[in-house]
């Protein structure tokens, strides 16, 4: 199927590894021009090298509001427009709630909520002016069901889902679609501690009806579809990709 992504322009954050890197590479393979943003210079170089000239990298720390606010302008300066935004960057510091420093929460909300808000706002201005666009927020199943020792992360992802719904309603008349994806357990560096411990891995997989963790490639097609013109009547939805885990709860 032709997703009609050729020569569209998409900004992907958290694109130096994991889900963000996989999404960026596939978008480029579909013919899009991708601006990949992340903190890791080395990771961005690897992703850029896989883009056949269609991926350009920009270093940015999502905790730096000034840097985040300027990302969209860099995309527009480079390509003349922005058709899609995928807010993928996120952090998930674990710890017992009673002992957590408030700064941990401030950093989590800065990366997981404030940065996507600033990027959506900046991208939205251009999308309204150019007649439309698509925003995809990568949330989490923990935004649907709270998780112990990830209280701050769960809170932030719940906020992202509500923002998705409200913004979709506000911008529907502007031909801007806003959706979210809530991934479950994927084989990425974020799950390194689980993947390196046979016992933790066994316990984690036991909670998933599909009986395994997912490969990033299993989320990529959905992300590409939601940022393509083919999803022009899909907005305000949160798509769960978790092997049936939330449905079992």
- 160-199 tens-digit pLDDT: 999 999 999 999 999 999 999 999 999 988 787 878 888 8
Q: What single string gives the DSSP state of each residue in 229-242? A: GGGTT--S-EEEES
Q: pLDDT at position 200, please?
A: 87
Q: Please name every residue paired with 181 in a beta bridge, in sequence order, or none if there are none.
A: 138, 239
Is 33 catalytic? The answer is: no
Catalytic residue among 58, 84, 153, 240: 153
Q: pLDDT at position 167, please?
A: 98
Q: pLDDT at position 190, please?
A: 79
Q: pLDDT at position 195, please?
A: 82
How long is the chain? 249
Q: Read off the pLDDT of residues 3-48 as tens digits, 9 standing for 90 and up.
A: 999 999 999 999 999 999 999 999 999 999 999 999 999 999 999 9
The domains of the chain are located at 9-244
CB under 8 Å, gap of 24 or more: what pairs does 39-43 form?
Answer: 40/16, 42/16, 43/16, 43/17
Can you tell me the distance from the alpha carbon of 89 to that of 87, in angstroms, rounded to the nearest whole number?
6
Q: In 139-172, which positions are buried (b, 16+ CB within 10 angstroms) versus exposed (e)?
A: bbbbbbeeeeebbbbbbbbbbbbebbbebbeebe
* In the predicted structure, residue 249 carries a pLDDT above the cut 70: no
Angle, CA 170 vertex, CA 13 and CA 5 arms, to 5° = 45
Arithmetic mean of pLDDT over the chain: 96
End-to-end CA distance of the chain: 34
- CATH placement of domain 9-244: 3.40.50.720
């Amino acid at each position: 199927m032709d997703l009609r992504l050729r020569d569209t322009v998409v900004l992907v954050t958290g694109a130096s590894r994991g889900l963000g890197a996989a999404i960026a590479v596939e978008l480029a393979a579909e013919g899009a021009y991708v601006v990949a943003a992340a903190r890791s210079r080395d990771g961005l170089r690897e992703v850029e090298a896989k883009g056949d000239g269609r991926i350009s990298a920009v270093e940015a720390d999502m905790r730096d509001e000034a840097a985040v606010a300027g990302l969209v302008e860099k995309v527009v300066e480079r390509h003349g427009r922005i058709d899609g935004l995928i807010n993928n960057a996120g952090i998930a510091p674990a710890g017992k709630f009673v002992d957590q420093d408030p700064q941990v929460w401030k950093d989590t909300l800065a990366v997981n909520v404030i940065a996507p808000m600033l990027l959506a706002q900046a991208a939205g201005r251009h999308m309204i002016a150019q007649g439309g666009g698509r925003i995809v927020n990568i949330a989490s199943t923990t935004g649907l069901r709270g998780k112990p020792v990830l209280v701050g992360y769960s809170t932030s992802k719940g906020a992202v889902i509500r923002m998705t719904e409200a913004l979709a309603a506000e911008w529907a008349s502007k031909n801007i679609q806003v959706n979210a994806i809530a991934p479950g357990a994927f084989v990425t560096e974020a799950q390194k501690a689980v993947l390196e411990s046979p016992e933790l891995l066994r316990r984690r997989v036991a909670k998933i009806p599909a009986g395994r963790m997912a490969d990033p490639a299993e989320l990529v097609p959905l992300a590409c579809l939601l940022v393509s013109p083919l999803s022009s009547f899909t907005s305000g939805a949160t798509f769960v990709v978790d092997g049936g885990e939330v449905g079992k709860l």
